Amino acid sequence: MTNRRDVIHATFWGLGVAAVLLVAIFIGSNSLKHYDAALVPYTGACVFSAFGIGYRFAMWLRRPPTRKYWFRGWQIFFRPSKLARNVVRLAQVFFSDFVEQRFIEKRSPARWAAHWLIAWGCILAAAVTFPLSFGWVHFESAPNNQEIYRGFVFGQHVSTFHLGTITAALTFNILDISAVMVLMGVALALFRRARDRGAISVQQFAQDMMPLLMLFAISITGLFLTASTHLLHGLNYGFLSLLHAVTVIFTLLYLPFGKFFHVFQRPAQIGVQFYKEEGARTEQAMCLRCGAPFASRMHVEDLKNVENSLGIHYQLPGGGHYQDVCPACRRKSLAMAQDEKWREQGTRAAASQPAGGIWPNHQ
């Protein structure tokens, strides 16, 4: 149960993250010199979202099991004797899980393709939209030539390109490219969810369908803006820009509270990978019942500590701990206990019944 101390702690972190973002906007936009005042609603939604993400992330880490895995993982990672090897391993995990997203491919190639297109479409859009909205990146025409554009990052001149070049086309249409990637991913995801019986049986509108619909709305309204500008001579551009803004702001407000929060949880779980690999290399726990190895000793001891911190005590009457029993033996013990209870129940019922017992005689 969430207590007051947890709420205060998480609120502090949420306010801290929001304050850092505001300071970064002020400094990165050169004291708001390059900040577009028309983007204030976007900024307000971003600041609220930053608070929500900081709050929920801090609350997530307040859970004893999560906190144990989190700190244990980074404790293992930063050990001086293995830091160099862990850095190399971190790069491998980053490329496999983040760039290639192979952890999704194990489930199905279609699911991986949908996730990869949505993820990289959103990353590409975020990498462009947020720096532009916050004034960290801006473009200016060259003083003496309107055909030349100059790009600035945090007020520093970093690039120059001519209009009509491939660089200019990619720069000015990168959000359209990301929107097409997201739409392709959303179409694949909806197709799978409409045909996969397993997905149909467990999917929920709030957790599975609504995020896809929000991504679709943002992407399609963004493409409508481009179509209005280049194909329809600005027809209904004002209405379309307002509609696009509503979809973006609604999604930003939803970001910390729905399925999109996994975007921030997933990188934090990299430490679990180091925890598992360290556990596989160290002493294994032997089952008290069958004597077979079933988990790392480190994992079993951490589970005991977490249970103790939660007031859960699973010490066995004859010595030892319930966590020292392997999962297979726990299931067998449960089945045997149930069987014993059934036999006791049957014996008591038979004693109170006439000859023939409680079970029907089918012979």
Model confidence over 87-126: pLDDT tens digits?
Answer: 999 999 889 888 888 888 888 888 999 999 999 999 999 9
Largest CA distance in the chain: 110
Q: What length does the chain have? A: 363
pLDDT in tens, 234-260: 888 999 999 999 999 999 999 998 888
pLDDT in tens, 159-208: 899 988 998 889 889 999 999 999 999 999 999 888 888 888 888 888 88
Mean pLDDT, rounded, of the chain:
88
pLDDT in tens, 268-289: 777 888 888 888 989 999 998 8
pLDDT given for residue 1 in this prediction: 54
pLDDT given for residue 91 in this prediction: 92
pLDDT in tens, 295-342: 999 999 999 999 988 888 888 887 788 899 999 999 998 898 888 888
User: What are the helix (H) ranges across the chain?
Assistant: 4-28, 40-61, 64-77, 83-93, 102-105, 109-134, 166-195, 197-202, 210-230, 237-254, 262-268, 270-281, 297-309, 327-351
Look up residue 315 and give its two tokens. 């010490």
Q: How many other CB atoms sit within 10 Å of the CB of residue 287?
A: 17
Q: What is the mean pLDDT of residues 212-217?
A: 95
- Cα distance between residue 36 and residue 34, in whole Å: 6
Look up residue 361 and give its two tokens. 């005689």
- Cα distance between residue 34 and residue 26, in whole Å: 10
Q: Is residue 39 scored above 60 in pLDDT?
A: yes
- Cα distance between residue 131 and residue 74, in whole Å: 30
Q: Is residue 70 scored above 90 in pLDDT?
A: no
End-to-end CA, the chain: 56
Percent of the chain with pLDDT over 70: 96
Q: How many other CB atoms sit within 10 Å of the CB of residue 254?
A: 19
pLDDT given for residue 2 in this prediction: 60
Give me the residue label for tokens 């299931």: 331
Q: Give the residue among 175, 303, 300 at the shortest CA–CA distance from 248.
A: 175
* pTM of this structure: 0.80
Is the CA virtual torsion 182, 188, 191, 193 positive or negative? negative
Lowest mean pLDDT among 61-70, 82-91, 342-351: 342-351
Better-predicted residue by pLDDT, 120 or 359: 120
Q: Is residue 21 scored above 80 in pLDDT?
A: yes
Q: At what angle do helices 40-61 and 237-254 cross, to 10 degrees?
A: 20
pLDDT given for residue 355 in this prediction: 55
Helix (H, G, I), strand (E, B) or coil at 162: strand
pLDDT given for residue 205 in this prediction: 84
| Cα 29–chain centre separation | 29
Q: How many other CB atoms sit within 10 Å of the CB of residue 125?
A: 23
